[in-house]
Amino acid sequence: MSDSNLPEPRPSERVGALPRAEAKGTEPDFATLLVSWLDSHRGSLVDGLRRLGRQPLGSFLTCLAMAVALSLPMGLSLLLDDIARLGGSWQRAAQISLFTTLDVDDAAGERLRARIAALPEVAEAEWIGRERGLEEFQRQSGLGEALRGLSENPLPGVILVTPRAIDKAGLEALRLQLEDFSGVQLAQLDLLWVERLGAILALGERFVFGLSVLLVLALLLVIGNTIRLHIENRRSEIEVIKLVGGTDGYVRRPFLYMGTLYGCGAGLLAWLVLVYGIDWLNAAVVRLAGLYGSDFALAGIPLEDGLSLLLGAVLLGYVGAWLAVARHLSELAPR
Contacting positions for other proteins (CB under 8 A): 1-9, 11, 14-19, 23, 26, 28, 32-33, 35-37, 39-40, 236-237, 239-248, 250, 333-334
- Shortest distance, CB of residue 32 to other proteins, whole angstroms? 4
Contact yes or no for 318/263 (Cβ under 8 A): yes
**Orientation of helix 235-243 relative to helix 248-291, angle to 10°:** 140
What's the DSSP call for residue 157?
Answer: P
Of 17 and 303, nearer to other proteins (C-beta) is 17
Identify the CA nearest to 48 among candidates 263, 273, 327. Answer: 263
d(CA 124, CA 116): 9
- Shortest distance, CB of residue 235 to other proteins, whole angstroms? 11
DSSP reduced 3-state for 125: strand
Of 39 and 279, nearer to other proteins (C-beta) is 39
Rounded alpha-carbon distances, angstroms, from residue 218 to 69, 91, 180, 224: 8, 38, 57, 10
- Shortest distance, CB of residue 63 to other proteins, whole angstroms? 23
Of 195 and 248, nearer to other proteins (C-beta) is 248
- Shortest distance, CB of residue 13 to other proteins, whole angstroms? 9
Rounded alpha-carbon distances, angstroms, from residue 110 to 99, 126, 157, 160, 178: 13, 9, 10, 12, 15
Contact yes or no for 194/165 (Cβ under 8 A): no
- Shortest distance, CB of residue 18 to other proteins, whole angstroms? 5
**Alpha-carbon dihedral of residues 123, 129, 133, 135, nearest 10 degrees?**
-130
Of 196 and 327, nearer to other proteins (C-beta) is 327
d(CA 203, CA 209): 10
- Shortest distance, CB of residue 320 to other proteins, whole angstroms? 24
- Shortest distance, CB of residue 257 to other proteins, whole angstroms? 16
**Orientation of helix 191-233 relative to helix 248-291, angle to 10°:** 140
Backbone angles phi, psi at 163, to 5 degrees: -80, 160
Of 241 and 268, nearer to other proteins (C-beta) is 241
Of 12 and 141, nearer to other proteins (C-beta) is 12
- Shortest distance, CB of residue 58 to other proteins, whole angstroms? 17
Identify the CA nearest to 219 among candidates 278, 269, 279, 275. Answer: 269
Of 272 and 333, nearer to other proteins (C-beta) is 333
Of 111 and 235, nearer to other proteins (C-beta) is 235
